[in-house]
C-alpha cells in the first residue's frame, strides 16, 4: 500500500480580485442541450430563476 509523502493537503493560492460569480448549469443528455445562467450572487432567488428557466425550456 502506497502512502503519499505530503504532510498537508495541497492548496492553490488565488489572486483576490473580489469578483465573485455564481454559475448555474445543466446538460440535457437526451438532446445534448447545455443551459447556463451566470449571476452575481448565489442565493435562493437566483437559483429559483434558474429552475424557472429550465422549466420554460422543458415546456417548449
Q: What is the pTM of this model?
A: 0.58
Average pLDDT over residues 13-40: 82
Residue 6 pLDDT? 62
Residue 5 pLDDT? 62
CA distance 51 to 26: 10
CA distance 49 to 10: 36
- Residue 31 DSSP label: T
Average pLDDT over residues 26-49: 87
Residue 10 pLDDT? 64
Residue with the bigger pLDDT between 59 and 24: it is 24
Q: How far is CA 56 from CA 13, 21, 51, in A?
A: 40, 24, 9
Domains of the chain, by residue range, sit at 22-59
Amino acid at each position: 500500500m502506497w502512502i503519499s509523502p505530503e504532510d498537508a493537503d495541497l492548496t492553490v493560492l488565488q489572486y483576490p480580485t473580489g469578483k465573485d460569480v455564481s454559475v448555474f448549469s445543466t446538460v440535457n443528455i437526451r438532446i445534448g442541450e447545455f443551459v447556463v445562467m451566470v449571476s452575481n450572487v448565489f442565493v435562493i432567488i437566483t437559483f429559483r430563476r434558474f429552475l424557472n428557466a429550465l422549466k420554460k425550456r422543458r415546456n417548449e
